[in-house]
Each structure stands twice: as C-alpha cells, then as structure tokens.
Structure 1
Amino acid sequence: MKLLWSLTLLLWVMVGFSQNGTDTRTRYQYQIKRTSTPIILDGLVEESEWAEHGTTTNFINHWPIDEGEAQFQTEVRLTYDDQNLYVMAKCYDEGKRIVQSLVRDNDEDFWGSDNFTVALDPVNTKQSGFMFGVTAGGAEMEGTLTLEGAQTYSSENWDNKWASKTVQYENYWVVEISIPFKTLRYNANQRQWGINFIRGDKRNNVYSTWTQFPVNFNGVGMNYMGSLVWDQSPEKAKGTFIFNPYVTSSSLRDYENSEQNEAQLNSDLGGEVKVALTSNLNLDLTLFPDFSNADVDQQVTNITRFDIFLPEQRNFFLENNDIFANFGTYDIRPFFSRRIGLNDGEVIPIDFGGRLTGNITPHLRIGVMDVQTRRTEEFAAQNYGMVAFQQKVLKRSIIKGMFINRQATSTTTEMEYSKNLGLEFSYVSESGALNTTFMYHNSITPENLGETHFYGFEGSFNSRRFKSGWTYNVVGDNYITELGVNPRLENYNAETEETIRVGYTLVNPWVRYLFFPERENRRFNYHGIRTWHNMYLNNDGTLNERQNNFAYDFEYRNTARMNLIARNQEVNLLFPTELIGDEFTPIPVGNYKFSRFDVQYRSDERKTFVWNTLTGYGSFYNGTRLGAMIQGSFRFRPWGTFGVTYDYNDIRLADGYGNANLHLVRFNGNISFSNKLFLTNVLQYNSRNDNFSAFSRLQWRYSPMSDIFLIFNENHDTTGLGIKNRSIVLKVTYWL
C-alpha cells in the first residue's frame, strides 16, 4: 500500500511540469475553398486546376531533430467539391528517391520509403482520426488514428475507398489525393478539422511536418495538428450506403481426418454493408463474413510459461476498434477481437455481426457490437455483445466504460455465459507530456465466484530526453476474461494436467534517457539507456516473479540500430512446468534465478541487402539457453523483396529435464507487378509446433476497394513432412 501511495504522489507532482502546451490548431491554419474547376488526378500541377488555391509550405524538421526548416521543402494545396476532399503535394528533393515496394498497406515499406502523408481529425476532438499516405512510387497506405495515453498510433489494417496519383520529376515528385467524404466521419456543421502533413525523405533519413512540435511525439500526433478551416461547412456525404459483397469458391481437404477421402468443394456468398447514419456515426453489418484473404499468421517460438496472442487482421473488426480494445494495460486486455470466431487457430464460422461506432456528440464516442457464431461439432453457438463509450472531459482527458456479454445460444456443457464490465479515467495533460489511466474492472460468471476484480493504474511521463512510466495492476483469482487477454492468470500444472487460476499484483516502473548529438557530422541520431522492471506478487504478498532489465540503444544516422540488453530474472515456480515438450520431466516447484545478455543489430534499411541479428546467452531455470536469430532480405526496388529468417534456440536443462534444439525458418517473397497487383509468398518451418506451412496469395485490386484474391495454403508436419491439410480459395469482392 505504501508503494501505491508513493507512485500516486509522484504522479501528481509531475502534473505541475506537464501543463504547458502549444495550440498548433490556432497557429497553423489552412483556409480551404471549393474548387471551380474539376480536379483530375494526373500528377500534373495544372495552373488551371490549382492556381486559385493557397499554398502552405515551410515544413519544419521533426525527426531526428525538431527545429529549423526542412532542407527539402514540400508545397501542399487543398480544395474540395461535392464529393471529395483533394490534396496536392509537391515534394522537392535531389532526384534520388527510395521506394522499397509498391505493395499497399505495408507499414514498414511505407515509412521506409520517400512518402507523403495527410493526417486528419475531422471531428476535431483530438481523440480519433484517419491518415492517407502515398510513397514516391505510388504505393498507398490508409489507416485509422487512435490515442493510447498521450501518443497517437496508426493502424494500417483499416481499408476504405480513396484514390491517388504520383508522378516523379527531376528535382521533385508530385502526389494528388482524392478522399471521398463518405469515407470519413465528421460533424456536418463543423467549420474546422484537425490536419497535418508529414513528409518522409528516406534518402537523408529525415521527416518533416507542417506544424512544429516535440520530437518525442509521433508525426501523426493528434494533439499537434493544425486546422483545416472550411469556407463553408461540408455537407453530409451523399451516397452513404455502401455494399461490399463477396463470392468465394474453395477446395479444402483435411488429410488428418480419415473420413475425408477427397477435397471438399464449397461456394459461399456474403458481404458487408456500411451505412452512415450521420456524418460521424457509422453502422457496419456483415453476413457470413469470410476472412480467407487475411495475411497468414507469423509462426513464433514460444518457450514461456504463458500463451501468446497474435494481432487482429480481419477488416470487419478494425474500424474504430480502439473504442472496444483500448481498455486495461499492456499486460491485461479485457477485450481482444481475435477471441471471436477463432479458437486456438481453428476457425469458428460467423453467421452475422453488426457494429455501431462513432460520435453522437462532439465529446461522446460510442461503440455497440453484436456478433453471432455458428454451432460446430466441437463448439456451441455463441452470441458476443459489447457496449463501450468514451466521454471527453477537461481538455484532453476521457472517461470510458465497457460492458461485454458472451452468451451460449445452443446447448453446451461449458460455461453458459460470462460478462465483463469496467470503468476507466484517463488523464492526459494539455501538452501530452503526462498521462495516466485509473481503472476498475470486474467479471461475472454463473458460479458467483469471489475475487473477480482487476484494478490499478498505468501511465507515463514523456519529454524529449527523459521518459518514464509505471503500471500497477491487482488481479483477483477469478477475474475471467473469455474475450480478453490475461495470460498470467491461468497456470498449467504439468503433473496433474490441471489449469489453476492464480491472482497477482504487478508493479512495473520504467525509465529511459536519450542523448541527441548536436554535431553536424554526428554518427548517431540518438543513443541512450533504459531500464524496466516487472515484479509480480502473489495475493499473500510473497514474490511470484521479478524481471530486471537494462539496455543501451543506438540509432545511427544511416538508419542502422544496435541494442545491448542485460536481463536478470527470479521465478518462484508454483507448479511443475513444461517448457520444451511433454516428453521430458517437468521442471519442479522451486526458486530459480537466471540471467541473460542479448545483442541486437539491424543494418541500414536503405541498402539492397538488409540484415538483422539477435544473439543471446544465459542461464535458464535449472539450465542454459543459447538463442540466435538472423534475418536477411534482398530488395529489388520497387518490384520485389525476398527474405529469410532463421530463429534458433539451444536449451539445455539439468539432467533428466531435457535438452532441445528448436528451429524456426521463414521465407518471405513479395512481388509487386504494379501498385494494384501483388503476389505474397510465405514458407514457415517451426519444429516447436511441428508444422511446415506454405502460403501464397495473389491480389489484384481491379477497382477501388474491389479485389480478386487467389489463395493457396498447405500445412505439413516437420518429421516426415506428411501433409496435414490443403486449401485453395478464389475470392472476389466488389465495392458498390
């Protein structure tokens, strides 16, 4: 309890140092007016099209330094008509450009290329928004902007209709962007939107922005946008009913099922409907959704005591997903959409679903979701419902709440229902330097159990050089989150084959300090030290586990990075545990102390050949562990990238507890025939999971938001490479 009060006192002391902010939405304004001439996306800056519209320039350095005008400037103009918002950017340079790939919606390749991005906050509340970006080669990326603490993050998984055209010239390149109003969510009677422009000059590894703000905030940060001032309020978008049907034809065979002697041929119809009930409140409906075109999950080697969770990639769950997902802390998430329609990687068909998301007032966002899954031979039909809200208070803070209900809708021997509810208050200072969230959650199940709570707080303080953070979680023995992520709660006893819930308290302070060399011929963008510590206590106050970590980081001007990391860990193991396979004697209950040292290096990502390595060695429970990862890729810009990753772990436990050599190999081959036609290939070999898989996907975006996919997927075991299953899917989508 003394620790809790000490952290709370430190938090409020920091409040006094975090109130000063700058109102960039007043200082930076662009007056937009309706066009009198039709805008044609051709990458040609025709005076007849753009002469009547003002130009904003004088972009400011943002990374790696956040002062002074950019060496190579960017000119931006905007206008609109009844249907679209138009943006034109003229990006000056020396004519030497880096375009990593033509593949759309690739976060790493996009920010690793010369690029231009427009970030929008149409509701003008600094709580959510959109981004639209284009590389010098014409590769597009759109995404949603969400707030986590004081930082803005983008998710490129969101997909919607817009268009662009890029043309390269000798000493500059031009991009023209058209964004339909019906793609956005905004207040129809609002005269000001938040907006910013981000320019990436990858040849010189610098980023510049229209507004000036501290380097410790992301370039798309919603707190430091300027204002887009309309000559008249944009009307509610017309044609706000969108239908996106699909048809699939597939051949599927499970070779491990002795009753299936040949491939099953299936044809399916389904689709999604988007209805803009208001200009900033959207209804998404889906019927028999098919997610076969989603990227394949990357295999990982898991040698921890707890499950790991892979990110959501299904488009239906992504728009405004933050209103449902941004509860809890990094260690506990009460809601995780991958729990719906998936169970240990096995697909459970979804019959229908609906999501209502958006603002009902300028300061109140809501989310309502309902999804129905189908009954299968192994799983009962389920209905998943969730309601969430975010109410903005003070200048940047929010109060948010959620209620989740999972209800079996067919006969089942499992738990008939489970419910979760929670309330949180997120304080964010005006400048964004300080943020912290106080939270209380509970769960309800038919057993009427006790100790069903989860409460605590999490936050951070963020200045240019000094950064710190804290997490304090108290989790009851029976805080059950069937639709969430809470990996530490459930502990597996390898001898009795029982799973036992054990509550805990987590204390996690962290500190980081950066040095920014100021010499013109400096070798580093920055270097600095960081330390983070996790201490898990049992409910009686005894130590469950501690993790003490220290690291020194270097980022070179040429984009290379190096990290030196020392780790020390102590575990009071409560149950016999398997780490490397059930063929060995489980590690017994006891106290274990072990240390490890890692070296990680990533080479200059602008080169044709890029490599990355991570090597570490140390003690591991009652033995040792050697880990090594090496990754290399050839980039034949911009049409192809081919890479191999090899992850090796040599684990040697004490006599009688086993030794293991674990291998994970992944090959990626991506080919861009154009910025509309892509071929993705992934081969993965994982000895830990006894699986070898081959995945190939051909995608042709023949019209905006309309695609043809041809997908091949095959899995084998790693011993005799016997085939487990094979599928071939043809999917066609069309945006009406």
Structure 2
Amino acid sequence: MKLPFTLSLIVVSFVGLGQNGGGDTRALFKYQIKKATQPIVLDGAIGIEEWGQHLPITNFFNHWPSDVGQAQNQTEVKLTYDDQNLYLLAKCYDKESRIIQSLVRDSDDDYWGSDNFSFVLDPVNTKQSGFFFGVTAGGAETEGNLTIEGSQTWLSENWDNKWASKTAQYEEYWLVEMAIPFKTLRYNANQTTWGINFIRGDKQNNEYTTWTQFPVNFNGVSLNYMGSMEWDKSPEKAKGAFILNPYVTSSSVRDFEDENQSEAELNSDLGGEVKIALTSSLNLDLTLFPDFSNADVDQQVTNITRFNIFLPEQRNFFLENNDIFSSFGTYDIKPFFSRRIGINDGDAVPIDFGGRLTGNISPTLRVGVMNVQTRQTDEFAAQNYSVGAFQQRVLKRSVVKGLFINRQATSNTEELEYSRNAGLEFSYISDSGRLNTTFMYHTSLTPENYKDTHFYGLEGSYTSKRIRTGWTFNVVGDNYITELGINPRLENTNAETEETVRLGYTYINQWFRYITFVEDENKKLNSHGLRTWYNLYLNPDGTLNETQNNLGYDFQFRNTARMIWLTRYRKVNLLFPTSLIGDDFTPIPIADYSFLWSELYYDSDERKTFVWNTSLAYGQFFNGTRLGAMVQGSFRLRPWGSFGLTYDFNDIQLAEGFGKDKIHLVRFNGDISFSNKLFMRNVLQYNTQGDNFSAFSRLQWRYSPMSDIFLIFNENHDTQGLGIKNRSLVLKVTYWL
C-alpha cells in the first residue's frame, strides 16, 4: 500500500508545482566592459588614471538572510581588461569592524567565516558551469568551479589555477583588486556576452549581498541569476595556453608492520602535469606519474551503519571539472566516483599516466573523456580506466546526459577481467530553477553476463522562499555492479558465514521543509522551520526492507549560531546476521527491529574568538541502546592561528550476549598562517574503532603563483599500545611554467 501512495505524492508534486516563473536577471543587470587604456597594477589603491574612465556597479541587493531591499553596507565594482587579463576592482564599504579568520588560502570555513568578496563567471554563457574567485579582507584567496546539481548551483573549491589579487584596509572600506588571466578561463573566443555576478560577505552583520536581486532559496553563486558582462570587443583566444606543472619529490617511508623492511626506504620521483587549451573552451589535461602526497589527510569518522562509507576525493587531478563525470545518479547511488581509481581498500595504487579532455565543443554541448593507467603491484593487477560523458543542453535549461565507464585489467588477474557501466539521464529544469526532475537509466556489464543489471528511477525537487520539497524513486537490480561508483546498500554481509550477498532494492524518499523568516528589526532569529522526510526500502519481492520516518526543527540565529532538533523512527527487517560493533561480538540475529532515536545539535557564534559546537543523541538501537555525544571547540588567534579539539563518543549497549562497546574519536587541528603565502597544517586523530592514532603535518610555501614547496610528515600507530605502524616524510616541489 505504501508504494502506490508515495508514487502518487511524487506525481502530484511534479504536476502541481510545475507552474512557476522567474525574472531574467541577465537581461536586467548589464555591465559594459571596456579595454584598459592604462596598465593596471595590483597595489590595493584606486589609481585615477587606471580606473577613472570605467563606470562602477554601485547598487548591491540583500540576498541572505533577507532578499528584500538594498544592502546597508554597499559595494562598488569596476571591470576592465587588456590582452592578457580580466581585471576587477571592488570597494567594500563598512564601519571598519572586519572579521578575518585566517590568512590560509583554499580554506572553506575560514573564507566564508570572514569578510569576503567573490566574483563568479559563466564565460560560455550557457548557465551550465562557471568559475569562482574569492578574496577575504585579509587577502586569503580561494577559487573553484561552479556546477549544476538539480536546479541549484554548487561550488567545488578544489579547483586550483593561476590568478592574482591584492587587498588593502581603509577606515570606511576595504579594497580588493583581481587579475584573472584569460588562459585560466574557458570561453568562446567570439562570445560577446558573459554571465557574471558578485557576492559580498559582510560577516559582522551576518549578511550576504549580491549585484543581481533574486530569491533567497537559491545560492548566491547561482548560474541562473547572474547578470551580463557585455564586451566592447570579444576577447581573443588566450595566447600561451600551454602550461607545464612539473614536480619533484624526495621521500623517506617505512612500514614497521612489514618484517622484511628493517629501515626506511629513500625514494626520489619526478612527474608533472600539462594543461593544453585546444580551443578557448576545451582543455586537455595530461599527467605522468602523478603524486598526491600533498593532499589533505582524510578526516576520520565513526561508522556504526551496516554499510561502507565513502570519504571525499582529495586529489586535484580528479577534481577539476569532475562534475561532468560525477553528476550522474542520486544522493546515495553514484555510477562514477573518482576515488575508486588509484586507491584500493585505503591503499594507494601507483598511477603511471592519465589524461582528461573536458569543456564545451559548442555552446550547448559539453564533453568529458578521461583515461588513467595504474601500475601492477604485488597485491593488485594493472588496470586501465576509461570514462566518457556528455551534457547536451535542450529547451532553455534542461540537459540530456550520457555516461560510459570501462575498467579493464591490463595484466594477469584472478579478479574480474573488466567491468563496464553505461547510463543516460534527462534533467528537466524550469526557467526559474524552482522545479527540477531527473529521469535516469543505467546498466552494468561484467564477463558473467548477469541479469538484473539495471538501475533506473527519478529524483527531483521544488523550492520556493518558504517551501522546499523533493522526491526520489530508485529501482536497483541485484547485479547493478558499480566498481567505479558508490552503491553501498547492494552488498550485504552475512556475519556468520562471511558471505557477501548482492540484493537489489526499491528506494522511495520524499522530503518537505517549511521555513519562517523573521522580519522583526530586533530579532534574535533569522529563520526557523519544520522539516520532515521519509525513507522506504523494499526488497525485490516488494516486502519491507527498511523504513525511516524523520521529523526536525531548525533555528538560524542572527548571530550566526544554529540549533537543530531531530527525531527518527526506524523499522528494519534484517535479512542477514549482522555485526554492528565488530567481529569480536555475536552478530545480531535475523529479525524485525523498530527503534526511536533523538538528536540535538548546537553551533555557537562563529564570529567569536572561541567557537564551539556540540551534539547529543540517545535512543534505541536494534536490540539495544545507543548514546552519542560530540563536543568541538576552536580557539582562534586571528588571523594567524586556529586550534581546535573534537571529541566524538558513542556508547552502544546491545542486548545481553550481543556485546557492548564504547567508541572514542579524538581529533586535534592546528592551522597556522605565517602569511598568505606560508601555511602549516597539523592534524592528530585517535580512533578506537579503526584502531589508529595518526599524526599529520604539512608545511606549504607558495613561493610563486601556483608554485609550491611542501614538507609533509605522516605517522600512524595502533590505539592499544601505541605501537608504530608506518612513518613517512616527503619533500615536494612544484613549479608552474
């Protein structure tokens, strides 16, 4: 009875919410850019001869927490260009009460926690992808790609490229100047109109303002609500679009658990990347013997679910323009996940070479092709990975997408010789972006020629200022195998026989949220609202696998603090004996379980010198109980240092005879920014569930734009006697030619 009822809700939502409108901000907000007649120097000063002839953008509108009226602290922006660069000058008015959390570049929390100015561009002018460049009042830079997921624009800050900025502090305002080389961007050489917007973060007042005015239910970086920059003469194809980024490393590595290794191994490696702009909007990336030793350390987590978890990608080669490959599937099923390449069970597998071709081959067609070859090791066969994808824009904003994946063994192996996946999706996005729905069909192929290799369904959402709702309907076959993707619920482990059984399922989800915005001038709250969501998993024969009903309430305070209350009720038809807290305990048996669970979260005012957040959760857990508590504190010596400590505790008490366990996770972060070119990151993590105590330290000196020297130390111990597992010390030098 539940399946037809939920499907009817999805249909009603799709039909009933399809009627919506929206203004064309690219037609309403325009800026005429003119070529510079004087050389532009980034010096944090307004040179009359440099900038005097260029008209300013003067009226910024409120965007968050209110999308009504003009900003109380205004911003003036000017743009110009020469043969090499696009230039920007922004004058950010305030009352000299600026918050600068850190000087570290590419730090998401520190950037958005500080007073900042962001410049977003859609050079191809298709509302499908774009670029982001941002600077804090203290001069900390960040850059990223803009991508579409559903109807929302999301920022991926892992993209890294060459550009420059300069900031300066004055009594009633602060200045930022930017110089963005044309060869950093991808654009059509004959394109006379670009999509652009500007986002000002006024952290003291906890406000964000934008050049264009659009609804608060869309991110400030929204590709759909940009203005237009009209060129007096379209920029030519960037010259010198061949970029070489070599590296050299010297390392000392010792595995203390390997009895055959009595001393550290000393190694030196050489490799690098080449970036070639085949056209102004199509880029070829090549890498030879890539080295990812400078990637950030994975953040340890506690996992007490029945399924594997997946840590995010950290490697730059796989992150740039990755959305064209990774945007397929739904929230918990991803046909392609790049971390499956070059990493096996947490161990790095050497990559010999890789290549990626990404970009637009026409104003409406975006493509991506990637090929990566891994090396044969004692544990793993050599593999070749090929991925191809396209995005064809249809109607005004809708997209037809296709994906093909091939994993092919290139040396002898007892594992599967190959594994292939293919999929086709259609994403409908309304003109305003309020309504979106994606219809998808995917399949897999392996040498066994299994049946039931399908994954199909739909996912969508509708969003207005106060009402947000969404729906998902997935059908997964028993043998939809995604070796290069994420499909955690497919494989079920029988803890008694240690067999792994693939079991398909049908997943139905519907969620709803209502937000109340507080307009009172003396308000303590910016907004508050109710949310609820429902998850249903059915077995292939239509019987219940799992259901979860959720209810929550959110409070967003004016002072940036936040509080969330959640209650969940789950029913699980457990089909296999399952170990929840380790193999040392008796698995919980096959049975029907139902349990109630409540959680409370609180985040303090992030503008303070000392910031803290905490959560407390308690409830039933299968045949027992679970208590969860987390406390996190961070002390900032702004802007040069931030020191934080996190303690995550779980006390699981299963029924008599099935075990009990106390899981401790402790993490220390110490980030020091000696300047906006020299940074040090330190992380200590103690995880009893993973039996690992690790120490990570990385010193980075950006001695020239996009050129760095890294010194990285990493060490791992067990948590029982703190016996050492492994240790490494790496010196890495990169240079941007």
What's the TM-score once normalised by structure 2's chain length?
0.99
Retained in 2: the 8 A contact 1:682–1:694?
yes
Retained in 1: the 8 A contact 2:453–2:477?
yes
Q: Any gaps of 5 or more consecutive residues in structure 1?
A: none
Give the whole-Å Cα distance in 2 for the aligned partners of 1:702 and 1:175. Answer: 21
Residue of structure 1 equivalent to 2:636: 635
Residue of structure 2 equivalent to 1:652: 653
Give per-residue Cα distances to partners, 1:419-439, cap 9 Å, x unaligned: 000000000000000001000
How far the C-alpha of 1:15 sits from its partner, in A, is 4.9
Give the whole-Å Cα distance in 2 for the aligned partners of 1:6 and 1:64. Answer: 34
Give the whole-Å Cα distance in 2 for the aligned partners of 1:97 and 1:111. Answer: 13
How far the C-alpha of 1:345 sits from its partner, in A, is 1.2
Retained in 1: the 8 A contact 2:17–2:462?
no
Give per-residue Cα distances to partners, 1:139-195, cap 9 Å, x unaligned: 000000000011000011100000000000011000000000000000100100000
Retained in 2: the 8 A contact 1:14–1:434?
no
Residue of structure 1 equivalent to 2:48: 47
Residue of structure 2 equivalent to 1:718: 719
Kindly report which structure 2 residues correspond to 1:383-394, keeping only aligned pairs within 5 A, or say none: 383-394=384-395
Retained in 2: the 8 A contact 1:383–1:409?
yes
Which of the numbers 8, 17, 20 marks the counterpart of 2:19?
17
Residue of structure 2 equivalent to 1:498: 499
Residue of structure 2 equivalent to 1:413: 414
Question: Amino acid of the residue matched to residue 302 of structure 1?
Answer: N
Residue of structure 2 equivalent to 1:2: 4
Residue of structure 2 equivalent to 1:370: 371
Residue of structure 2 equivalent to 1:454: 455
Give the whole-Å Cα distance in 2 for the aligned partners of 1:288 and 1:160. Answer: 20
Give the whole-Å Cα distance in 1 for the aligned partners of 2:671 and 2:11. Answer: 52
Do structure 1's residue 128 and structure 2's residue 129 form an aligned pair? yes
Give the whole-Å Cα distance in 2 for the aligned partners of 1:510 and 1:575. Answer: 29
SS across alignment from 1:13: helix
Give the whole-Å Cα distance in 2 for the aligned partners of 1:4 and 1:441. Answer: 23
How far the C-alpha of 1:640 sits from its partner, in A, is 0.3
Do structure 1's residue 702 and structure 2's residue 703 form an aligned pair? yes
Do structure 1's residue 625 and structure 2's residue 643 form an aligned pair? no
Retained in 2: the 8 A contact 1:474–1:504?
yes
SS across alignment from 1:9: helix
Retained in 1: the 8 A contact 2:18–2:435?
no
Give the whole-Å Cα distance in 1 for the aligned partners of 2:518 and 2:84. Answer: 48
The size of the alignment, in residue pairs, is 735
Residue of structure 2 equivalent to 1:296: 297
Give the whole-Å Cα distance in 2 for the aligned partners of 1:327 and 1:665. Answer: 35
Question: Amino acid of the residue matched to residue 727 of structure 2?
Answer: R
Residue of structure 1 equivalent to 2:120: 119
Residue of structure 2 equivalent to 1:321: 322
Give per-residue Cα distances to partners, 1:654-707, cap 9 Å, x unaligned: 111001000000000000000000000000000000000000000000000000
Residue of structure 2 equivalent to 1:429: 430
Retained in 2: the 8 A contact 1:15–1:429?
no
SS across alignment from 1:333: coil
Give the whole-Å Cα distance in 1 for the aligned partners of 2:709 and 2:304. Answer: 39
Q: Any gaps of 5 or more consecutive residues in structure 2?
A: none
Kindly report which structure 2 residues correspond to 1:56-205, keeping only aligned pairs within 5 A, or say none: 56-205=57-206
Give the whole-Å Cα distance in 1 for the aligned partners of 2:549 and 2:248. Answer: 52
Residue of structure 1 equivalent to 2:683: 682
Do structure 1's residue 672 and structure 2's residue 673 form an aligned pair? yes
Give the whole-Å Cα distance in 1 for the aligned partners of 2:458 and 2:708. Answer: 44
Retained in 1: the 8 A contact 2:10–2:471?
no
Residue of structure 2 equivalent to 1:545: 546
Residue of structure 2 equivalent to 1:440: 441
How far the C-alpha of 1:67 sits from its partner, in A, is 1.2
How far the C-alpha of 1:4 sits from its partner, in A, is 7.0
Question: Amino acid of the residue matched to residue 598 of structure 1?
Answer: E
Give the whole-Å Cα distance in 1 for the aligned partners of 2:516 and 2:184. Answer: 42
Question: Amino acid of the residue matched to residue 13 of structure 1?
Answer: V
Retained in 2: the 8 A contact 1:509–1:533?
yes
Give per-residue Cα distances to partners, 1:479-532, cap 9 Å, x unaligned: 000000000000011100011100000000000000011110111110000001
Question: Amino acid of the residue matched to residue 240 of structure 2?
Answer: G
SS across alignment from 1:572: strand
How far the C-alpha of 1:11 sits from its partner, in A, is 4.2
Give the whole-Å Cα distance in 1 for the aligned partners of 2:100 and 2:181. Answer: 26
What is the RMSD computed on CA atoms of the aligned residues?
A: 0.8
Retained in 2: the 8 A contact 1:369–1:385?
yes
Retained in 2: the 8 A contact 1:630–1:645?
yes
Give the whole-Å Cα distance in 1 for the aligned partners of 2:395 and 2:12. Answer: 21
What's the TM-score once normalised by structure 1's chain length?
0.99
SS across alignment from 2:220: coil
Give the whole-Å Cα distance in 1 for the aligned partners of 2:210 and 2:194. Answer: 17
How far the C-alpha of 1:8 sits from its partner, in A, is 5.2
How far the C-alpha of 1:9 sits from its partner, in A, is 2.8
Question: Amino acid of the residue matched to residue 612 of structure 1?
Answer: N
Name the % identity.
73
Residue of structure 1 equivalent to 2:480: 479
Residue of structure 1 equivalent to 2:307: 306
Residue of structure 1 equivalent to 2:339: 338
Kindly report which structure 2 residues correspond to 1:19-34, keeping only aligned pairs within 5 A, or say none: 20-34=21-35
How far the C-alpha of 1:3 sits from its partner, in A, is 4.6
Question: Amino acid of the residue matched to residue 287 of structure 2?
Answer: T
Kindly report which structure 2 residues correspond to 1:262-273, keeping only aligned pairs within 5 A, or say none: 262-273=263-274
Give per-residue Cα distances to partners, 1:99-137, cap 9 Å, x unaligned: 111111111110110000000000000000000000000
Give the whole-Å Cα distance in 2 for the aligned partners of 1:12 and 1:309. Answer: 31
How far the C-alpha of 1:17 sits from its partner, in A, is 2.2
Retained in 1: the 8 A contact 2:699–2:710?
yes
Residue of structure 2 equivalent to 1:554: 555
Give the whole-Å Cα distance in 1 for the aligned partners of 2:694 and 2:368. Answer: 37
Question: Amino acid of the residue matched to residue 269 of structure 2?
Answer: D
Give the whole-Å Cα distance in 1 for the aligned partners of 2:275 and 2:103. Answer: 28
SS across alignment from 1:203: helix
Do structure 1's residue 534 and structure 2's residue 503 form an aligned pair? no
How far the C-alpha of 1:7 sits from its partner, in A, is 4.4
Question: Amino acid of the residue matched to residue 118 of structure 2?
Answer: T
SS across alignment from 1:617: strand
Question: Amino acid of the residue matched to residue 10 of structure 1?
Answer: V
Give the whole-Å Cα distance in 1 for the aligned partners of 2:687 and 2:28. Answer: 54
Question: Amino acid of the residue matched to residue 59 of structure 1?
Answer: F
Give the whole-Å Cα distance in 2 for the aligned partners of 1:10 and 1:637. Answer: 52
SS across alignment from 2:455: strand
Give the whole-Å Cα distance in 2 for the aligned partners of 1:53 and 1:311. Answer: 43
